[in-house]
């Protein structure tokens, strides 16, 4: 006998399924996603409705019960076909090889199978009356039916998972909702049809697995229609709080003894209050994080645009001053050369500061790209030495390179970033060395290649060495000799080297004894480590601002 | 023979400066301040090389490159992207469309640019 409450529940579920289908459809009639969703919703309504209706007639009209069961299985066939079609376009269309051929094939198979199910007894042979209702007696094509349905569901899920891994942003959030709904549906199906049946022998609730399809439809409809999705964690905590509250409520209502009723009631009320506070706190935390992200993005964008705008006049100053110095506009008098050179140098410093700020804003926004190429460190360092030799010689400093005994093998590095790091170190070395010079040394270690840049400059004490690679820190020698520079360069350098999975540090025997900067880069890039590093670096940069 | 260079650059000061430098270095320089004008000049003068700014009024340098590559008459002219807009995605797009290099203006003096361009032209 079917209870009245179940009739009411199924009627509501069927109506909601149809309603959700049309709601999504009318939001954007032309969109294939919306159309497929409508089809799936209507098929769900037919499947749930016919399965439920068949429960009324096993005794009074067995042939009608059999017919209704056939409709159920026919609907299931089309349901799985459309689930796969849906997986190929939601949340974005995939390129599938021979999609027309396979689409046609599945539709053809769908017609054949559903025809066989509806008009023959090959799947539903008959019914067997049971205390809880009836069991379907399956015919010969049951294995084909089961394999077909399982195969399509697995294929659909693989496609959804593939999309989830590939896609980022809003569409990924949409998929999270889909998975939540589909997950609840699957778990309920397994729970009512397998777990309850196997472990407790309770069969009468098996239809509840079907009813939970409403969760799948509800969450997916929301994911398709909503322009902005609530954070999935809010929904999850709401569901969790809701389920526990219902269990506590049932416990309270079913308690036999008054004091137990009061105790359970108090627990229920307390839980509701704390549950509410928990959800509120979750929402608040998520809102705050979104705001922080928004501000952080706005700031990074501002720095990017400002950097670009700043560079235009800097390029003009650099260009004209360099041409004046080259004598393009006539030879400079001796006493004019130095001031003009100073203008050029100051401008270079500004350019470097803008570059560092830009790198920093990228690191912070997680927008920095890591593009490694096979590189000979020897060639790269030689180029840099040649480039900066003039600067060093102008200051009366030597530049020397000690080559490795055997040529170093090429390794994968992001050339732009490593170049920026080495230039930065050499620039500092020239800046802080009054006499002597700079020596470059390259060598191969077991799993790394090492670049050492040693100078005969000011040197540093331990305290300075420790704080050197932090943001806005400069060794005191730096402060004494030059007051410009915000100390961004070495911080950015460290981030770049760590991005490679490498190390950078400085050594000095103390004040007046010169210093050395050592960079070690792995011969083999560990891509997994790089991904992790890139994330933590981004996080670290975020924490500082 | 004098090599012809087309410079697509909307910043007048920079355009003038680079024109001065390149003229002095013995090139014949044509200036365009936006993409459409640049494309018309490229078709008319068939320069040996195009130096292309990326952020331009109306259609940007990437659009210019797309147009250029579609026009068989001028599609094989080498292009060097030259901008202060240092965006990895834009750099990749420029490389995909066949830009020889993407140079950041503040990283080079006009003399260094001239040397780079000479290198390209002798290749």
In tens, the pLDDT along A8-45 reads 889 999 999 999 999 999 999 999 999 999 999 999 99
What's the complex ipTM?
0.91
pTM listed for this prediction: 0.55
Query: How far is Cα A311 from Cα A425, in angstroms, rounded to an integer?
Result: 23
Interface contact flag, A314 B106, Cβ < 8 Å: yes
| CA of A317 vs chain B CAs: smallest distance (Å) | 9
pLDDT at A543 over 60: no
User: What stretch(es) of chain A map to CATH 1.20.1070.10?
Assistant: 4-229
B75 shares contact with chain A (CB less than 8 Å): no
B88 shares contact with chain A (CB less than 8 Å): yes
A180 shares contact with chain B (CB less than 8 Å): no
Of A146-160, A184-198, B6-20, minimum mean pLDDT range: A184-198
B97 shares contact with chain A (CB less than 8 Å): no
Residues of B with CB below 8 A from A358's CB?
Answer: 86
Work out the average pLDDT over A375-395.
Answer: 84
Interface contact flag, A316 B11, Cβ < 8 Å: yes
Work out the average pLDDT over B113-121.
Answer: 90
Q: What are phi and psi of B87, to 5 degrees?
A: -115, 120
Closest by Cβ to A312, choosing from B24, B84, B87 = B84
Residues of A with CB below 8 A from B16's CB?
Answer: none
What's the Cα-to-Cα distance from A538 to each of A302, A364, A413, A420, A535, rounded to whole Å? 18, 5, 19, 19, 5
DSSP H or E segment with residue A424: helix A415-432
Helix, strand or coil, per DSSP, at residue A450? strand
User: What stretch(es) of chain A map to CATH 3.30.565.10?
Assistant: 373-541
What's the Cα-to-Cα distance from A116 to each of A123, A326, A372, A542, rounded to whole Å? 8, 90, 58, 62
Residues 367-386 of A with CB under 8 A from B: 367-369, 371
Q: Collect all residues with Cβ–Cβ distance below 8 Å to A50 and sequence separation of at least 6.
A: A68, A69, A71, A72, A75
Closest by Cβ to B111, choosing from A312, A322, A354 = A322
pLDDT one-digit tens code per residue, A321-352:
999 998 888 888 888 888 998 899 889 888 88
Q: What are phi and psi of B73, to 5 degrees?
A: -65, -35
Compute chain A's Rg from CA coordinates.
35
Residues 321-350 of A with CB under 8 A from B: 322-323, 326, 328
A207: β partners: none
User: What stretch(es) of chain A map to CATH 1.10.287?
Assistant: 297-365
Closest by Cβ to B109, choosing from A312, A322, A367 = A322
A314 shares contact with chain B (CB less than 8 Å): yes
Rounded (5°) CA angle A173-A175-A180? 100
B24 shares contact with chain A (CB less than 8 Å): yes
Which CATH number describes the domain made up of A4-229?
Answer: 1.20.1070.10
Q: Hey, of A312, A416, A424, A492, which one would you mutate to test binding to chain B, going by the most B CBs within 10 A of its CB?
A: A312
Nearest chain A residue to B113, by CA: A319
The pLDDT-based confidence of A474 (bands split at 50, 70, 90) is very low
Query: How far is Cα A478 from Cα A429, in angstroms, rounded to an integer?
Result: 10
From the number of C-beta atoms within 10 Å of its C-beta (0-12, 13-18, 19+), residue A251 rates as: middle
Residues of A with CB below 8 A from B12's CB?
Answer: none
Of A88-102, A113-127, A234-248, minimum mean pLDDT range: A88-102
Chains A and B: how many Cβ contacts under 8 Å? 54
B101 shares contact with chain A (CB less than 8 Å): no
Which CATH number describes the domain made up of A373-541?
Answer: 3.30.565.10
CA A211 to chain centre: 33
- The residue behind tokens 């079913």 is A254
- The residue behind tokens 């009061």 is A262
- The segment with the largest mean pLDDT, out of A148-157, A255-264, A279-288, is A148-157
Closest by Cβ to B110, choosing from A308, A312, A319 = A319
What's the Cα-to-Cα distance from A320 to each of A325, A340, B4, B20, B33, rounded to whole Å? 9, 11, 23, 10, 20
Q: CA nearest B81: which of B35, B40, B36? A: B35
pLDDT score of A531: 66
Query: How far is Cα A192 from Cα A208, in angstroms, rounded to an integer?
Result: 7
pLDDT score of A152: 93
Nearest chain B residue to A326, by CA: B111
Rounded (5°) CA angle A480-A484-A485? 110
Interface contact flag, B84 A304, Cβ < 8 Å: no
Residues of A with CB below 8 A from B111's CB?
Answer: 322-323, 326
Residues of A with CB below 8 A from B14's CB?
Answer: 312, 315-316, 319
A439: β partners: A400, A454
Q: What percent of chain A has pLDDT over 90?
A: 28
pLDDT score of A524: 81
Work out the average pLDDT over A63-75.
Answer: 92
Give A60-121 as a DSSP string: T-HHHHHHHHHHHHHHHHHHHHHHHHHHTTSSS----TTHHHHHHHHHHHHHHHHHHHHHSS
Query: How far is Cα A413 from Cα B111, in angstroms, rounded to an integer?
Result: 29
Query: How far is Cα A426 from Cα A517, in angstroms, rounded to an integer?
Result: 9
Under a CB-based contact definition with an 8 Å cutoff, are residues A324 and A379 in contact?
no
Long-range contacts, B104-107 (Cβ 8 Å, 24+): B104/A311, B105/A311, B105/A312, B105/A315, B105/B14, B106/A311, B106/A314, B106/A315, B106/A318, B106/A351, B106/A354, B106/A355, B107/A351
CATH architecture of A297-365: Orthogonal Bundle (1.10)
pLDDT score of A98: 66
Under a CB-based contact definition with an 8 Å cutoff, are residues B70 and B103 in contact?
no
pLDDT one-digit tens code per residue, A184-224:
998 988 888 778 767 776 666 777 888 889 999 999 999 98
């Amino acid at each position: 006998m079917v209870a009245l409450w179940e009739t009411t529940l199924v009627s509501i579920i069927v109506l909601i399924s149809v309603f959700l289908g049309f709601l999504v459809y009318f939001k954007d009639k032309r969109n294939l996603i919306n159309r497929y969703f409508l089809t799936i919703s209507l098929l769900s309504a037919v499947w749930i409705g016919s399965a439920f209706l068949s429960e009324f007639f096993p005794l009074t009209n067995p042939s009608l019960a059999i017919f209704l069961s056939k409709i159920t299985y026919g609907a299931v066939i089309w349901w799985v076909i459309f689930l796969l079609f849906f997986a190929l376009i939601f949340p974005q269309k995939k390129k599938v090889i021979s999609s027309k051929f396979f689409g046609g094939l599945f539709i053809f198979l769908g017609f054949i199978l559903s025809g066989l199910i509806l008009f023959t007894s090959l799947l539903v042979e008959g019914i067997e009356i049971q205390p809880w209702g009836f069991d379907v007696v399956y015919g010969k094509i049951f294995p084909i039916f089961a394999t077909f349905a399982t195969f399509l569901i697995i294929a659909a899920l693989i496609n959804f998972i593939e999309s989830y891994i590939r896609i980022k942003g809003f569409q990924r959030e949409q998929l999270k909702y889909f998975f939540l709904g589909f997950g609840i549906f699957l778990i309920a199906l397994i729970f009512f049809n397998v777990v309850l049946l196997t472990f407790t022998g309770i069969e009468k609730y098996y239809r509840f697995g079907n009813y939970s399809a409403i969760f799948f439809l509800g969450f997916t409809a929301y994911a398709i229609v909503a322009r902005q999705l609530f954070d999935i964690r809010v929904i999850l905590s709401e569901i969790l709080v809701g389920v526990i509250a219902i269990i506590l409520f049932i416990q309270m209502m079913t308690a036999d003894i008054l004091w137990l009723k009061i105790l359970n009631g108090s627990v229920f009320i307390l839980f509701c209050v704390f549950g509410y506070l928990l959800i509120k706190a979750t929402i608040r935390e998520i809102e705050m994080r979104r705001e922080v992200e928004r501000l952080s993005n706005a700031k990074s964008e501002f720095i990017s645009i400002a950097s670009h705008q700043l560079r235009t006049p800097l390029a003009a100053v650099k260009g004209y001053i360099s041409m004046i110095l080259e004598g393009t506009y006539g030879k400079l008098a001796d006493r004019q050369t130095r001031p003009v050179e100073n203008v050029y140098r100051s401008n270079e410093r500004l350019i470097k500061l803008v570059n560092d700020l830009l790198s920093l804003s990228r690191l912070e926004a997680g927008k920095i790209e890591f593009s490694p190429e096979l590189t000979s460190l020897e060639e790269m360092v030689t180029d840099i030495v040649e480039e900066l030799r003039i600067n060093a010689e102008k200051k009366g400093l030597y530049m020397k390179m000690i080559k490795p005994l055997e040529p170093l093998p090429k390794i994968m590095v992001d050339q732009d970033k490593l170049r920026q790091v080495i230039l930065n170190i050499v620039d500092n070395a020239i800046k802080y060395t009054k006499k002597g010079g700079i020596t470059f040394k390259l060598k191969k270690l077991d799993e790394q290649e090492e670049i050492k840049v040693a100078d005969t400059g000011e040197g540093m004490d331990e305290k300075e060495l420790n704080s050197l690679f932090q943001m806005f820190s400069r060794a005191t020698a730096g402060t004494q000799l030059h007051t410009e520079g915000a100390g961004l360069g070495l911080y950015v350098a460290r981030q770049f080297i760590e991005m490679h999975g490498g190390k950078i540090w400085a050594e000095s025997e103390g004040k007046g004894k010169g210093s050395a900067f050592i960079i070690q880069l792995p011969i083999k890039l560990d891509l997994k480590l790089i991904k992790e590093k890139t994330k933590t670096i981004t996080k670290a940069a975020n924490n500082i601002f | 023979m004098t090599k012809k260079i087309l410079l697509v650059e909307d910043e007048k000061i920079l355009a003038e400066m680079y024109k001065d430098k390149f003229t002095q270095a013995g090139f014949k320089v044509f200036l365009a301040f936006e993409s459409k004008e640049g494309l018309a000049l490229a078709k008319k003068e068939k320069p040996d090389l195009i130096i292309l700014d990326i952020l331009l009024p109306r259609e940007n340098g990437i659009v210019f490159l797309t147009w250029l590559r579609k026009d068989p008459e001028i599609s094989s002219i080498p292009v060097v992207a030259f901008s202060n807009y240092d965006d990895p995605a834009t750099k990749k797009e420029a490389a995909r469309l066949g830009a020889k290099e993407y140079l950041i203006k503040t990283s080079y003096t006009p003399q260094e640019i001239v040397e780079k361009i000479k290198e390209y032209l002798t290749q």
